Structure formats: C-alpha cells, structure tokens
Amino acid sequence: MEIKKTSLYQLHQNNKAKFVEFAGYQMPIQYSEGIVEEHKFTRNHSGIFDVSHMGQLFIYGDENLIEDLEKIFPLNLKDLQLNHSKYSFLMNDEAGIYDDLIVTKIAKGFLIILNAACKDNDFIILSKLLNNKYKMVLDENRSLIAIQGPKSVEILKDIIIGVEELSFMTGNWFLFEQQKIYITRSGYTGEDGFEISLPNNQVEKFTKKLIEKGAKLIGLGARDTLRLEAGLCLYGHELDKDKTPVEANLKWAISKERVSKGNFIGSDIINKQLNDGVSKIRVGIKPEGRVIAREKTKIFNQSDLYIGEITSGTFGPSVNGPVAMGYVENEFSKKDTKVFLEVRGKKHPANICGLPFYKKSYVKGANK
C-alpha cells in the first residue's frame, strides 16, 4: 500500500523534519531542534501539530440520527449543545474499545474526530450500525492542525478574530480567506489550545501564518511525551479492543444518565464493571530513578509477583524524569503503592501515582 502524505508534507520537509511511517502516513516525528526542545516550546510558548492523518467524519441527520448514535456512544447526545464536544468511545459488545474519539455537535449533524489507524474500520462499523441511513463523509479534502501551548490564543486570534471567546471543548465555524474553517478549543497535550479543520488547499498558507506569528512546528515525538505527561491515553497503547473504558479509568467520559438506562453497545459490561469493579485498571507509574520503563515492561509487586504491564513509558521533559502508564491488578492500583519494573533483567522501584504527571492549564471559560 502506498504511503500517504498530508498537505503539509512539503512544509515539514522544508523545516527539516525527520519522517516516520504512522498509520499509513509519512509523518514528522521531529524537526531539527529535537523532541525535548519541541516539547518545552509547546509548554512555554506555542506548538503546531499536523494531525491531518486523523479522520474527520461528518454525519448528517435529524433527531433519528441522535437516537441512533445514542445506541452506539455512551453519551447524552440529546443534551449536547450546538458546537459542544465530548470525548467518547466506539465499543464492541464486550465494551472493548475500537477507537476513542471526539464527538462535536454541528448544525444538521455531528463531526467525529477519529484516530488515523482506526478511521477506515470505524467508518465500516458505523455505516453498518447506522444501516447506511445517513449521509456520512470521511472527509479527505480537509486537513487538521492543532495549535497548543499558552501563547496559542494570542497567536491564533491575530489571524482569526473571535477564537478567544471559545471555551474548552466548544467550537465554531470561522472564515479564513472566504473559506469555512472549523475551530475547537481542545487538544491532547495538557495545554490550552485549538484544533483547526480547514480545506487542504489552505492549510499550508494558514500554518505559515501561525509560524510568522511565532508558533513552531512540533513532531509526533513531542506530541507523545506531551500527552503522556498529561496522562492522556493513546489508542493502540492504553486503549484497544481488549480494554474497556472502565478499565482504562475513563468512566468520567461515560454519561451517568445513559449508564443507568443502558441500551448502548457494551452497556451491559460497563454497568457490570461499574457495579462490581474491574480486575485490572490503568494507572500512572513514576519510576524512582532515571530508568525508563517502555511499553511491555513487566510490573511486579513487593512479593515479586507479576501484576501488570506498562503501556507507554518515556522521559518527560517537563517532569524532568521518567513517566509511564500501564495496567495493574486492581488491588495494586492505589496511589503510592510500591511496584517494581523489570528493565533489561533488573527490577527497578517505582510508585503508582495520580495523573496527570504535569498539571493541565486548560481554559475553562473565555476571558472576558
């Protein structure tokens, strides 16, 4: 299969990106300054991420669509206001996660942002579940970029007047050179920021304007260290078909009202797990020394018994030390539980810790 390129490929190349294949796309892993500098720049200033490989699924329909989508997602979509977004999951009957996604209510339907590696499969599953009753467009003509970090609002409002009015997890249509672009105040770095959906033929021009105003391109490498410090899950690592939202410690994303009524895919298992508890659960793990425990590192308790595995682990530049997430047996999931991580044959002490590793600074409401 041919490797796909985003509309910003040339700009990445001009900025000396190192590329890596990710979900069938040639994506920048880092630029010349390197992951640590890019990470810090995002935390202190403003970073631009090309996330055009992610799926932008538009589904159009009326009240029937809302009803049908509520049979799929554990969300209270009837009460979701126009231009408001919610984090959710596409699950199987066992509540295993096919994908984690963001659902936004737009006029006449919904915009759903999907993971790149899952989007084609999601489309097939959703088409089947909705019996092809609604117009569904997995839009390849639009790009998606994120601008993240404390200076992002100042930079973006210079180009698009009014974005500063958006509060966290809401969006709206704006005009950029007579074309409609959709901006939400959201992101996946633990910083204040925006995601911008715009036509492929405008994305390079738009990105260059952000760069002129002082933002910098940031690669997938720093995106990973940023989201991990923020305690956010990455599909294929913390989340997959064999894990449920309750096991992933994401029950906050499941509507309580919907759970009590059931009748969505996976609701039986979700209900059971919420009532009876789970055997394994996602936790944050902080190694005591400097050693980095990567994905698949085995976790042991103080009696040297195997209790779980790391799903993501790296060096956190803002934490200035190693950070990790993983799944452990429920009884060892309490904060400050001492565990041991087997790295290159040696067991290294670590502690179960709360998430995030790095404190979020999302903007809850617009500054008035």
Question: Whole-number minimum distance, CB 327 to other proteins, in Å?
Answer: 21
**How many residues interact with other proteins (rule CB under 8 A)?**
18
Residues 215-254 that bind other proteins (CB under 8 A): 221, 225
Contact call for residue 22 and other proteins (CB under 8 A): no
Residues 39-98 that bind other proteins (CB under 8 A): 39
Contact call for residue 28 and other proteins (CB under 8 A): no
Q: Which is nearer to other proteins, 289 or 354 (CB)?
A: 289
Residue 327 to residue 233: CA distance in whole angstroms: 12
Contact call for residue 284 and other proteins (CB under 8 A): no
Burial 254-285 (b: 16+ CB within 10 A, else e): bbeebbeeeebbbbebbeebbeeebebbbbbb
Question: Whole-number minimum distance, CB 36 to other proteins, in Å?
Answer: 4
If phi > 0 it is left, if psi is from -120 to 50 it is alpha, else beta; for residue 24 that is left
φ/ψ of 84, rounded to 5, equals -105, 145
Contact call for residue 30 and other proteins (CB under 8 A): yes
Residue 293 to residue 309: CA distance in whole angstroms: 10
Burial of 212 from C-beta contacts in 10 A (0-12 / 13-18 / 19+): exposed
Question: Whole-number minimum distance, CB 91 to other proteins, in Å?
Answer: 31
Q: Which is nearer to other proteins, 39 or 243 (CB)?
A: 39
Question: Whole-number minimum distance, CB 258 to other proteins, in Å?
Answer: 39
Question: Whole-number minimum distance, CB 54 to other proteins, in Å?
Answer: 21
Q: Are 184 and 141 in contact (CB under 8 A)?
A: no
Residues 325-354 that bind other proteins (CB under 8 A): 344
Q: How many CB atoms lie within 10 A of CB 13?
A: 13
Task: Check the CA dihedral 137-138-140-144 and report its sign.
Answer: positive
Site residues (CB under 8 A) for other proteins? 29-30, 34-37, 39, 221, 225, 290-292, 294, 314-315, 317, 322, 344
